[in-house]
Amino acid sequence: MRGLVYKVKASGFYHMMHYHYLCSMAQNEEVFKKIISHAKEYGFVFQSSEIYDGLSAVYDYGQNGVELKNNIKQYWWKAMVQHQENIVGIDSAIFMHPTIWKASGHVDAFNDPLIDNKDSKKRYRADVLIEDQFAKWQDKIDKEVEKAEKRFGEAFDKAQFLATNPRVLEYQAKIDTASKRFYGAMENNDLADVKKLIEELEIVCPVSGSRNWTEVRQFNLMFSTQMGSVTEDSNTLYLRPETAQGIFVNYLNVQKTGRMKIPFGIAQIGKAFRNEIVARQFIFRMREFEQMEMQFFVRPGTELEWFEKWKETRLNWHLSLGIPSAKYRFHKHEKLAHYANAAVDIEFEFPFGFKELEGIHSRTDFDLSSHQKFSGKKITYFDPELNETYVPYVIETSIGLDRTFLAMLSHAYTEEKLEDGSERVVMKLPAVLAPIKCGILPLVAKDGLPEKAREIMDTLKYDYMVQFEEKDSIGKRYRRHDAIGTPYCITIDHQTLEDNTVTIRDRDTMQQERISVDKIDEILRKKIRS
Ligand code: GAP
């Protein structure tokens, strides 16, 4: 959980040619820009309040975006609730009693250290400025390794090179020394030393280029608002910065009414709000976003076993979407929060590098015990097998819905040059997540073809999101569906009226096949089943 934990970053018809973009940072940046404009052009994501010049780090999902988002939610919910015997869902309110955030530690510790540059008047997160410097040194190490790999070929021993090359050792020593000092200073809340470190590392403002910094100060990330008409302190509420606390405070309700036996889990999908200062990278870091979280309650002493199980289960969930495993990696937290005894992130390779997509944390009994203390209510479980009463331990899996959306979008975006020299942009989204499952396209808008197409659509629309389109040439309609990731398009032509067959076109291969109308449902079901 950011703010409460400081992590030490360890360091068809056509044959086609694919462009491979993942070559250099500059190219990746270029691709990322294209993905953002594609997301807007095709109704996936819009800047919030755009006609009023936008609201920073807040986004709206358009007609295709909302479908993709709903499909991700459903895919997660099925895996985490529907397919599980011992996990149930809830939907708790965004507003909660303010003491909850005192008990959870968010009022006192959900802070970012901020620093301003006096010349540009820009505000930065001090930890991001410092970690960016670590990343620069790490890049230098990676470049040395790359050069040596080329020079020595098969004989190259990476471990030995990393342990002996003087330049690598020098950069590594810089990272080690500075990170030890930085994380130590953060732990001791020594913000003066954080500022000193920024000065000593000669970090400059990316806008003004100057080193004219203010002091570093802590800034709480929770948004607050007033309930009722009197503006007194007691009426100050927070917009929840995580959905997890809604689960903890409902633990007893669910356990009792659901007659749940430990081990069991409670899952929830919902909005969370954080007053992010460094809001960047499109929907990666937003001020209003959605989380899909699950708290799994276990017997004390078994939590590390469950932690390993959930690590594996969650990684497999990601891989089940058919995205190559090389795009994911675990990042173990070296430094743990006082209440956690294990924590790992699942990172995804976004166009701007590997970044956190999901967190899996062994949170001990911290949250339930703390709510017990602050509320004065007993929050325990009587374990009939052990004949013991205890406060359950918790394993949390917490994934950002918007980040998963961005991961899918950036992985799916593909530019292809076709054999006839033309180009297409195709979103190779997993079929189960695609906004529209099937385009229904009468070849021409006359001769009874639209009527027949609508008849077919009526047999499919109760089970699948399908879209009828009769405008423009068939080629243009195929391209539009490629651009939003529609896995199949069926074309209704004059032969359809004679023998009840259609052509079905596969998005990825662009192959077309003539099939009976009765087969469409079977093909869609096979491809889309989750
Ligand atoms: N309950 C634990 C928790 O909230 P976190 O690591 O702070 O942990 C969990 O957040 C996930 O929520 C992250 O892995 C990320 O996917 C997503 N997330 C966090 N802050 C976000 C933001 N500002 N914008 C979009 N997604 C965010």
Task: Let me know: does 222 contact 238? Beta carbons within 8 Å.
Answer: yes
Q: Distance between the two ends of the chain, CA-based, in angstroms?
A: 30
Atom of ligand 1 nearest to the CA of 285: 24
| pLDDT at 319 (0 to 100) | 97
Which of 2, 14, 69, 4 minimizes the C-alpha distance to 339?
Answer: 4
Measure the CA–CA gap between 122 and 204, rounded to whole angstroms. 12
**Tokens encoding 491:** 């074309």
In sequence order, what are the residues at sequence separation of 6 or more whose Cβ sits closer than 8 angstroms to the Cβ of residue 330? 311, 315, 344, 345, 346, 347
Q: Which amino acid is at 419?
A: E
CA 159 to ligand 1 center in whole angstroms: 34
**Tokens encoding 204:** 């400059």
| pLDDT at 383 (0 to 100) | 97
| Nearest residue by C-alpha to atom 14 in ligand 1 | 358
Residue found under tokens 């080329």:
150
CA 249 to ligand 1 center in whole angstroms: 20
Atom of ligand 1 nearest to the CA of 241: 4
**Tokens encoding 132:** 């960016």
Domains and CATH numbers, the chain: 436-529 (3.40.50.800)
If you count them, how many residues does the chain have? 530
Atom of ligand 1 nearest to the CA of 359: 14
| Nearest residue by C-alpha to atom 12 in ligand 1 | 400
Residue found under tokens 């054999």:
419
User: What are the distances in angstroms from CA 104 to CA 143, 168, 202, 526?
Assistant: 43, 42, 37, 45
How confident is the model over 206-230, as pLDDT tens digits? Answer: 999 999 999 999 999 999 999 887 6
Residue 485, φ and ψ in degrees, nearest 5: 90, 20
| pLDDT at 279 (0 to 100) | 67
Is there an atom of ligand 1 within 6 Å of 105 CB?
no
| Nearest residue by C-alpha to atom 7 in ligand 1 | 1
Task: Let me know: does 408 contact 68? Beta carbons within 8 Å.
Answer: yes
Is there an atom of ligand 1 within 6 Å of 439 CB?
no
Task: Let me know: does 13 contact 512? Beta carbons within 8 Å.
Answer: yes
Pocket test for ligand 1, best of 248, 403, 405 (most atoms within 8 A of CB): 403
Beta 288-298 vs 264-273: how paired, if at all? antiparallel
Is there an atom of ligand 1 within 6 Å of 367 CB?
no
Which helix (H) or strand (E) is 98 found in, with range?
Answer: none
Measure the CA–CA gap between 443 and 493, rounded to whole angstroms. 5
Task: Let me know: does 55 contact 433? Beta carbons within 8 Å.
Answer: no
| Nearest residue by C-alpha to atom 25 in ligand 1 | 285
What does R_g of the chain's alpha carbons equal in angstroms? Answer: 26
| pLDDT at 431 (0 to 100) | 96
CA 400 to ligand 1 center in whole angstroms: 5
CA 399 to ligand 1 center in whole angstroms: 7
**Tokens encoding 520:** 């469409």
Measure the CA–CA gap between 379 and 302, rounded to whole angstroms. 19
| pLDDT at 232 (0 to 100) | 57
Task: Let me know: does 123 contact 213? Beta carbons within 8 Å.
Answer: no
Is there an atom of ligand 1 within 6 Å of 244 CB?
yes
Strand partners, 236: 226
Is there an atom of ligand 1 within 6 Å of 245 CB?
no
Residues of the chain with pLDDT under 50: 3, 5-23
Measure the CA–CA gap between 415 and 508, rounded to whole angstroms. 12
Measure the CA–CA gap between 162 and 10, rounded to whole angstroms. 14
Measure the CA–CA gap between 211 and 117, rounded to whole angstroms. 7
Is there an atom of ligand 1 within 6 Å of 270 CB?
no
Measure the CA–CA gap between 180 and 178, rounded to whole angstroms. 5
Q: Is the dihedral of CA 333, 134, 110, 244 positive or negative?
A: negative
Is there an atom of ligand 1 within 6 Å of 333 CB?
no
Per DSSP, the three-state class of 237 is: strand
In sequence order, what are the residues at sequence separation of 6 or more whose Cβ sits closer than 8 angstroms to the Cβ of residue 123? 114, 115, 116, 277
Measure the CA–CA gap between 353 and 407, rounded to whole angstroms. 11
